[in-house]
Structure 1
Amino acid sequence: MNTSTFLWFDGRAEEAARHYTAIFPDSEILDRQQDADGRVTTVTFTLGGQRYIAYNGGPQYPFTRAVSLFAECDTQAEVDTLWKSLTDGGREGPGGSLTDRFGVTWQVIPKALAELLSDAEPEAAHRVLNALHAMTKIDIGGLHDARDR
């Protein structure tokens, strides 16, 4: 048995799949399906080796912030690059979240955040979380500074 993330788009499934696979390493479009009129209905693709299915289902089910895709980055440069690519045509949100041009919400989070929180004393962890909540795109240096105050 396999699981995949299924994303319901309003006519932009192939555009989204192309955009995402251009951003993430180890990503590709695996399959496109069309209806009898030649319109793309479904695109199967991978991001970082994980499988997704994008479906052109129409406007009745728009994306909400209740579900988001989580991208964990190793470095500040990765955070910066991914943030720039995903916010192009989208909008920034709080604490490392954003909504891309297709309406999909993402969490762009550095691995350092989990490390800072797991190793921190309660007061230091509280400072890290306060710093995080004040940020849009996460600044790893700023998180370290907050922990060390």
Structure 2
Amino acid sequence: MTELLPIRPCLWFDGSAREAMTYYVDLFPNSRINSIVDYPDAALDEHFVGMSAKVLNGSFTLNGVDFVCLDGGPLFTFNEAISFVVSCKNQDEIDSYWSKLSHVPASEQCGWCKDRFGVSWQIIPENMADLTRRPRQIGVMMGQKKIVIAELENA
């Protein structure tokens, strides 16, 4: 049996891959940009017109999780069917990540938010399962945008 290489999520951006990598790496601890390969110069091939300085393949690590990304254009966009979970130790961490990642108020619900690049995130307490054991707690959570731990504890 052959050894499988790790599975990594790939994010398709419309021209903002480099900016997104830098933003995420600055936001999360233990993170780094591993590599960036730009599209070839458009003068070399008509297929690359408009792609100068765009990312053909980027590799970055967010708090130990490896990602790849690319600038693929507007054909595909992010949606809430895929999201990344940020488990937070306390309300201060939730508040901090929320303030930096939530940029689309219409997409906020139950701890889910959408960042300025269109990527969906779940900013939740690490003990979310314990905080949503009772029907009343679940009802409170369903009415929240950003998770407020005290409200769930008191439900």
Whether TM-score is above 0.5 comes out as yes
**How far apart are the structure 1 equivalents of 2:76 and 2:150?**
39
Q: Deviations over 1:16-44 (max 9, x none)?
A: 11111111111111110112225232221
Identity %: 35
Which structure: larger Rg? Answer: 2
**How far apart are the structure 2 equivalents of 1:57 and 1:2?**
23
Contact 1:112 1:140 in 2 (8 A): no
**TM-score w.r.t. structure 2 length?**
0.85
**Structure 1 moving runs of 4+ over 6 Å:** none
Would you say how many aligned residue pairs link Structure 1 and Structure 2? 139
Runs of 5+ in structure 2 lacking a partner?
A: 42-51
Query: Is 1:108 aligned to 2:117, yes or no?
Result: no
**TM-score w.r.t. structure 1 length?**
0.88
Matches within 5 A, 1:34-49: 34-37=38-41, 39=53, 40-49=55-64
**How far apart are the structure 2 equivalents of 1:114 and 1:74?**
13
RMSD of Structure 2 on Structure 1 (CA): 1.3
Query: Is 1:21 aligned to 2:25, yes or no?
Result: yes
Q: Which amino acid aligns with 1:28?
A: R
